[in-house]
C-alpha cells in the first residue's frame, strides 16, 4: 500500500512541478543542433583522448628504452668484470695446474671454465627444482 502512495505522490509532484515550471520554448531545429554539438564534442574528446594516450605511450617507451640501456650497461660492466676476474684467476692458477697436469693444463682450465659457466647458468633452475622436490617430501 505504501508503494501505491509513493507512486501517487510522485505523480502529483511531477504535475505540480510541471505547472510551476513550464517547459522552455526551444527552436524547432534544436534536436538537430544538439546532436551536431554532441558529435563535435565527442570528436574533440576522442582527439584529446588519442593525444593523451599517444603521449603516455611515448613516455612509457622512453622509460622502457632508458631501462633497457641501464640493463645493457650493467650487463656489459658485469661481463668486463667477470672476464678480468677469469683472466686473473687463470694467470694465478695456471702455474699450479701446469705443475700437476702438465700439457693438459689449458684443457683442464677450459673445461673448468665451461663447468663454472654451466653451473652459473643452471644454478637458479636447479635450486627451484630442488626446492619443489623438498616441498613435495
Cβ count within 10 A of residue 66: 10
C-alpha cell at 108: 683442464
pTM passes above 0.85: no
CB neighbours of 100 closer than 8 A, spacing ≥ 6?
none
pLDDT tens readout for residues 104-116: 888 888 888 888 8
pLDDT at 2 over 70: no
Sign of CA dihedral 98, 102, 103, 109: negative
DSSP code at position 103: G
Q: For residue range 31-72, list pLDDT tens digits in order.
A: 888 888 877 777 677 788 889 899 999 999 999 999 999 989
Amino acid at each position: 500500500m505504501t508503494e501505491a502512495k509513493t507512486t501517487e505522490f510522485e505523480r502529483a509532484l511531477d504535475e505540480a512541478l510541471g505547472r510551476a515550471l513550464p517547459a522552455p520554448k526551444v527552436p524547432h531545429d534544436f534536436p538537430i543542433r544538439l546532436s551536431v554539438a554532441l558529435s563535435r564534442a565527442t570528436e574533440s574528446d576522442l582527439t584529446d583522448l588519442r593525444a593523451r594516450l599517444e603521449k603516455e605511450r611515448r613516455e612509457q617507451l622512453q622509460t622502457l628504452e632508458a631501462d633497457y640501456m641501464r640493463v645493457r650497461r650493467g650487463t656489459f660492466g658485469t661481463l668486463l668484470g667477470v672476464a678480468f676476474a677469469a683472466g686473473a684467476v687463470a694467470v694465478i692458477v695456471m702455474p699450479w695446474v701446469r705443475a700437476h697436469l702438465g700439457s693438459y693444463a689449458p684443457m683442464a682450465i677450459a673445461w673448468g671454465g665451461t663447468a663454472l659457466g654451466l653451473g652459473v647458468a643452471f644454478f637458479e633452475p636447479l635450486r627451484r627444482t630442488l626446492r619443489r622436490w623438498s616441498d613435495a617430501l
